[in-house]
Structure 1
Amino acid sequence: MFRGRIRMHTCRIILFTSLVWFLLDVAVLFYYSDSPTPSRGNNVGDGNPGPVPHNSLGILGVQAAGAHPAKRDILDDSNNAVNNFDSAASHSNQKDQEVIEVDERGFSLKYAKNQLKKWSLAPVVPEQAGQPGEMGKPVHLPADQESLMREKFRLNQFNLLASDSISLNRSLPDVRLEGCRDKSYPGLLPTTSIVIVFHNEAWSTLLRTVWSIITRSPRELLAEIILVDDASERDYLGKELEDHVANFPVPVHVLRTHKRSGLIRARLIGAKQVKGQVITFLDAHCECTEGWLEPLLARVAENRKIVVCPIIDVISDESFEYVTASDMTWGGFNWKLNFRWYRVPQREMDRRNGDRTQPLRTPTMAGGLFSIDKDYFEEIGTYDEGMDIWGGENLEMSFRVWQCGGELEIIPCSHVGHVFRDKSPYSFPGGVAKIVNKNAARVAEVWMDRWKDFFYEMNPGARSVEVGDVSSRRSLRKKLQCKSFRWYLENVYPESQMPLDYFFLGEIRNAETQTCLDTMGRKGGENVGISYCHGLGGNQVFAYTKRQQIMSDDNCLDATGTDGIVKLIRCHGMGGNQAWLYEAQDGLIRHVNSGRCLSKPESRDVTLPVLRRCDGSSGQQWIMKSRFKWQATIDDNSL
């Protein structure tokens, strides 16, 4: 009888164990089935969930709305448990039949399924009615605080008093296009590590950046936040900061450089420590908006060689008002290699079929805020470590990505605000001009082939700057089999103000007066001038192109009126009033539309060249001498 009870007990154990394993097998099979049922709420569902609707909070969102971020850990525990189970199941399941697309160098363009995470939408940050700065509204300080405000303004070159009065987790309006709010994204996405470099940053702006990331990002997709302190000197950014972030609901790590390294090298320190699949670089005075992260990660998941940027909105340095930026601008650059925003051309709108919510291919990026696959970041050479402090790294990476087989995009459905300052509060060893010229010269020497002459003519001081050894970067370009800068101008940025083909680059000197055409530093719409020839380039550098333009950077010589005034007008490439014919034999510069010739100034204003009837006099003769000539048939990939 005793033995019979043991047998009965053993049978029950066997049956119970078998039932448990059977249910576990069913769960795993169900998870890896191709069920089209979309995952919602906590995303406890099939292993290939459908898109997560971006306008639905789901179960988690309803429960968490209005809760303080620190209290959301309890809500997230269930999600983390599911994700841990999913991860374990993924590793136990063989992926022999999974085919990953690769490029010509063997770099995988897609993520394996076990590299992705299920996620749920972050709840909306509720408005704290009546509090300063809520919903992105401007902060207006009392008149009696004006003096204190100006005093503190100098510390960071923004209104610190206003920033300190605003909640670290303030509410913001949903600034996305209507079509973005209804977009759905894959239920499985890669994780990201956020890397933020700071130097003597204000407490409120730094912590507001961190909290906006935490509260407006799907928790499952945030691997960590890495704060890289670039030798800050303020006490509150030491142990106090470390203690403060130690208990945040997302892992926040503080790394330190101990000596001033600059943005570029400090970012590399952070990038070497990331655990996420994607690196997202942000500045230390940003605010992320609702739904900012998912569109970025979804696009990288489509193709790991796409580098993506959010639309960068403006946070006022005076009032901290949140101002939405246009989705109709993209990144470009001028002859000085300064980054500039320009209007998106019609051809790019046509490529997107007029859908402004679709990713926008941009020639360059601002560089402060972007996401890039961790392995691809390494594959294409991270940053140029020969660059110092800050400046030029954004153009260097933009050229490198495009010329070496990647793509660079602005994602209109992702918005991040940034405090834009009129000037930097920080000093640069050796001076700002020297560092910026060095960095830009490295860009020109490695990536721009013969078009580097435009930069040097506009920045003659850069010729004397020691750029350092660029052989390793040139070797990288050769190793990656990167395309020429001509290819970039033809295929990526045909709207660039750097002409593809031109006859001349340099000063335009009047034969009689021995004075030179000069922009005088004037803006578009103002008159072109003339002054003594200083031979230093800059404002006296003009290009005469095969399209019959006489251009200086963004502007072309343009004549419309009967008064003979010649203006600097934004180059449109359509000829017309901007078409000029130069014949070296007689030295005349003829305006094609009017048939008149560019002449020396008249006595009423000796600084303004004018258009007059052509008479062949020495006052109408101009000398264009240039050592920078080449034809389109010459190979422009000069390494």
Structure 2
Amino acid sequence: MRIGYRRIRKLWLIYLFLLFFAFFMFAVSINVYLQSLNVSDMRKRDAKYHQKLREKSSKNVIVAHYIGAGSIFGNATKDDFNQNNFNPVEAEGANGKPVVIPPRESLIMQRMFQVNRFNLLASDRIPLNRTLPDYRKKECVAKEYLKHLPTTSIIIVFHNEAWSVLLRTVWSAINRSPRHLLKEIILVDDASERDFLKEDLENYVATLPVPTRILRLSERKGLVNARLLGADKAKGEVLTFLDAHCECTKGWLEPILARIKENRRSVMCPVIDIISDDNFGYQKSFEYHWGAFNWELHFRWFVLGKSEIDKQTTDLSAPFPTPGMAGGLFSIDRSYFYEVGAYDPNMKIWGGENVEMSFRIWQCGGSIEISPCSHVGHLFRKSSPYTFPGGVGQVLSENLARAALVWMDEWANFYFRYTSLDVSSRDKYDVADRLALRKRLHCKSFNWYLENIWPNNFFPGHNRFFGKIFTLDNETPITKAFDNYILQHGVRSRQMSWENLFTTLKPMSNVLRSSLDGENDLCIQKTTNQSALSMAIASAVVGNCNRDPRLQNLFVITPKGQIMTNEGICLDSFDIPADMTGIVRITECHNTLRQKWEYDVMTQQIRHQGSKLCLTVTEGGDRDVMAKKCNNENSQRWGFVPLPWKETT
């Protein structure tokens, strides 16, 4: 009886599973059917426009457009890519609110997401003139600007952009810019393939209340050359470049133009707010951050330093300098744009042009600033829908290589050595014309840029240590070499300054590097399973040193004892009593005592300046780095391997 009962229970479970599966398939079928009815209904609305569009398009031959492997939502079809389904719903997305797609339309929403890599179904329901919140501070709202400000030409480059997103960008600029300041809007089509971006767009922009024209490239040239074409045809006194997926907010333009009128060499950027790619909700971003670059020269946002924030408290509406700009949204005096070298026309498609321009503007006598009174939303996507001839990685690397070779001096060797590029490949880039421009403009050095424009940078420097920090816990060749050398050369005090230590170690760098055992020696590194890009707190651990340079275990140490690495993150520990154990993290650099360390040459300990606890390797599988009471154990002994960064060989 017991065996029969178990069999019956198993059969009953199988029956329930089959019943559930049948119900699920029935629900999916009904859902797809309802969606087809809904799409049909959507296309019947605004029938005159869509009928005209369909008459111009080819027959509905379904050709699969492959995006990824095995999408459960189905691949987008040729018709999906070439159809304009803009069908606004009154008040949808009003005041920047997110759009909620009903569950019955979730499958088509996911399929259409593939077209532009954002929620196209949501965008097509938002009116072109939707309202947005005014996030300006009261000091900005109260600020009065001169009536006689320079006029501007807005230049927008697009390639296969969605109709609703592109025209919402245009209308937001028209509706929220004083008409007498908006000279014109120039749309530059970088060889789009969508039918609705051709004659239909021409007819539409002809009806706009601001002079708007479309310049078209017959083949894909990329952002730089498309913007150069737009700038060449512009008539405004100021060039304002916007990406094709933005929304300008109230009062965005006046503070930008006012600052350029004060100083024509100021290149002005707005605060870039976030438009969600999932639901098109408009989100305010933090105003007091500035832009710079990581070791791979990828753009990053960083929080303003304390000194800059203190300056802002005296005038919350005042623009502040930024070492770099994102590049998608900025304004520049038209004459100055050409005086300072415009864009490097040999940069391909997209990427790196913002790095090159940031270095060039600062090093050649200009400035880049952010106005906290100007807010523009930007649609941020998790992945790009665009293809790049040669591949995105190759195009970006080559563009960045050009920027490095022209503007970074010996730091260009650092870029080539510690990225995917080969130092020997630098000779293949012809940058003679840009080097001649630099000489003609009497531009300053990259060292000047780091010391004066970005003094809290985390790059290697002439008075900084750059290399690996390893534990002397093992009896390996490098441990013996370090012990012998450090005890025999110039040790005069227990707390040798960091600079003296760097000088002492430099002659020994080749021996230490050759002695490094990648299998057995352990180096401090940041964990790679947490995002340093978002300044999240990551654990400090030790792992195999590996002779190959890997960015996660390379560190810079400043003369003041700040131990930092790529992405502007530092070794950090709380100031706690000496009888406790402190957690050592790698988190955003902020130049406080929590992130200051000293080295005792005699004991070979790295000591926290605040708590006086020593950096310690814990036992166990994770090998975390902690701050513990100092003792004579090997787990608290550390050595340093200097690595070359400015040498060409």
Asked if these proteins are the same fold (TM beyond 0.5), I'd say: yes
8 A contact 2:89–2:127 mirrored in 1: no
Match of 1:545 among 552, 558, 565: 558
2:558 pairs with 1:558: no
Amino acid at match of 1:626: L
The 1:616–1:328 alpha-carbon spacing in structure 2 relative to 1, beyond 3 Å, is same
Unaligned segments of structure 1, at least 5 residues: 1-127, 631-637
8 A contact 1:504–1:628 mirrored in 2: no
| Whole-angstrom CA distance in 1 between matches of 2:635 and 2:90 | 73
Matched with 1:498 is: 459
Match of 1:525 among 495, 515, 537: 537
Which moves more between the two structures, 319-328 or 146-155?
A: 319-328
Which moves more between the two structures, 349-358 or 368-377?
A: 349-358
The 1:182–1:620 alpha-carbon spacing in structure 2 relative to 1, beyond 3 Å, is closer
The 1:455–1:526 alpha-carbon spacing in structure 2 relative to 1, beyond 3 Å, is same
The 1:188–1:181 alpha-carbon spacing in structure 2 relative to 1, beyond 3 Å, is same
2:322 pairs with 1:362: yes
The 1:519–1:255 alpha-carbon spacing in structure 2 relative to 1, beyond 3 Å, is same
- Classify the secondary structure of the residue corresponding to 2:239: strand
| Whole-angstrom CA distance in 1 between matches of 2:621 and 2:348 | 45
Matched with 2:489 is: none
Matched with 2:332 is: 372
Deviations 1:458-512 (A, max 9, x none): 4244646666212222221221111222322232222323365544212334453
2:286 pairs with 1:320: no
Which moves more between the two structures, 281-290 or 615-624?
A: 615-624
- Classify the secondary structure of the residue corresponding to 1:551: strand
Match of 2:268 among 308, 311, 324: 308
- Percent identity reads 48
Q: Which aligned pairs between 1:270-285 and structure 2 lie closer than 5 A?
A: 270-285=230-245
| Whole-angstrom CA distance in 2 between matches of 1:353 and 1:558 | 27
8 A contact 2:411–2:646 mirrored in 1: no
Deviations 1:517-562 (A, max 9, x none): 2223244532222222331322121122212222212222234463
8 A contact 1:505–1:542 mirrored in 2: yes
| Whole-angstrom CA distance in 2 between matches of 1:137 and 1:304 | 37
Which moves more between the two structures, 483-492 or 308-317?
A: 483-492
2:479 pairs with 1:472: no
Unaligned segments of structure 2, at least 5 residues: 1-87, 475-519
| Whole-angstrom CA distance in 2 between matches of 1:419 and 1:280 | 18
Match of 2:523 among 511, 516, 524: 516
Match of 1:605 among 618, 621, 632: 621
Matched with 2:644 is: 627
Deviation of the 1:601 alpha carbon: 5.2
| Whole-angstrom CA distance in 1 between matches of 2:321 and 2:464 | 31
- Classify the secondary structure of the residue corresponding to 1:272: helix
Amino acid at match of 2:459: M
Which moves more between the two structures, 489-498 or 407-416?
A: 489-498
8 A contact 2:467–2:640 mirrored in 1: no
Match of 1:257 among 186, 202, 217: 217
| Whole-angstrom CA distance in 2 between matches of 1:363 and 1:396 | 12
| Whole-angstrom CA distance in 1 between matches of 2:622 and 2:97 | 51
Deviation of the 1:609 alpha carbon: 4.3
| Whole-angstrom CA distance in 2 between matches of 1:226 and 1:394 | 21
Deviation of the 1:228 alpha carbon: 1.0
The 1:284–1:586 alpha-carbon spacing in structure 2 relative to 1, beyond 3 Å, is same
- Classify the secondary structure of the residue corresponding to 2:341: coil
Deviation of the 1:621 alpha carbon: 4.5
Matched with 1:267 is: 227
| Whole-angstrom CA distance in 1 between matches of 2:308 and 2:570 | 24
Deviation of the 1:197 alpha carbon: 0.7
Amino acid at match of 2:212: V
- Classify the secondary structure of the residue corresponding to 1:185: coil
Q: Which aligned pairs between 1:41-190 and structure 2 lie closer than 5 A?
A: 131-190=91-150
Match of 2:252 among 292, 298, 305: 292
8 A contact 1:191–1:220 mirrored in 2: yes
Matched with 1:573 is: 591
| Whole-angstrom CA distance in 2 between matches of 1:453 and 1:564 | 38
Deviations 1:186-229 (A, max 9, x none): 12122211111111100000111111222222222222211111
Deviations 1:328-376 (A, max 9, x none): 2222222232222222233224434522111222222111111101110
8 A contact 1:556–1:571 mirrored in 2: yes
Amino acid at match of 1:239: E
8 A contact 2:458–2:556 mirrored in 1: no
8 A contact 2:469–2:638 mirrored in 1: no
Amino acid at match of 1:208: R
The 1:453–1:475 alpha-carbon spacing in structure 2 relative to 1, beyond 3 Å, is same
8 A contact 2:128–2:164 mirrored in 1: yes
| Whole-angstrom CA distance in 2 between matches of 1:559 and 1:251 | 58
| Whole-angstrom CA distance in 2 between matches of 1:328 and 1:596 | 34
Amino acid at match of 2:590: H
| Whole-angstrom CA distance in 2 between matches of 1:346 and 1:296 | 24
| Whole-angstrom CA distance in 1 between matches of 2:600 and 2:345 | 45
- Classify the secondary structure of the residue corresponding to 1:389: coil
| Whole-angstrom CA distance in 1 between matches of 2:525 and 2:421 | 18
- Classify the secondary structure of the residue corresponding to 1:449: coil
Matched with 1:215 is: 175
Q: TM-score, normalised by structure 2?
A: 0.72
2:362 pairs with 1:402: yes
Amino acid at match of 1:445: L
8 A contact 2:570–2:586 mirrored in 1: yes
Deviations 1:550-586 (A, max 9, x none): 2212222234463365321322323455313164x88
Which moves more between the two structures, 611-620 or 541-550?
A: 611-620
Deviation of the 1:132 alpha carbon: 0.7
The 1:593–1:421 alpha-carbon spacing in structure 2 relative to 1, beyond 3 Å, is same
Q: Which aligned pairs between 1:31-46 and structure 2 lie closer than 5 A?
A: none
8 A contact 1:199–1:231 mirrored in 2: yes
8 A contact 2:597–2:609 mirrored in 1: yes
8 A contact 1:600–1:620 mirrored in 2: no
| Whole-angstrom CA distance in 1 between matches of 2:436 and 2:631 | 53
- Classify the secondary structure of the residue corresponding to 2:258: helix
Match of 1:239 among 172, 194, 199: 199
| Whole-angstrom CA distance in 2 between matches of 1:570 and 1:211 | 39
- Classify the secondary structure of the residue corresponding to 1:397: helix
The 1:575–1:135 alpha-carbon spacing in structure 2 relative to 1, beyond 3 Å, is closer
Amino acid at match of 1:581: Y
Amino acid at match of 1:380: V
Amino acid at match of 2:639: W
Amino acid at match of 1:627: P
Matched with 2:512 is: none
Matched with 2:83 is: none
Amino acid at match of 1:178: K
| Whole-angstrom CA distance in 2 between matches of 1:441 and 1:597 | 41
Matched with 1:86 is: none
Question: RMSD across aligned C-alpha pairs, in angstroms?
Answer: 2.8
Which moves more between the two structures, 499-508 or 381-390?
A: 499-508
- Classify the secondary structure of the residue corresponding to 2:539: coil
| Whole-angstrom CA distance in 2 between matches of 1:482 and 1:434 | 29
2:448 pairs with 1:487: yes
8 A contact 2:410–2:646 mirrored in 1: no
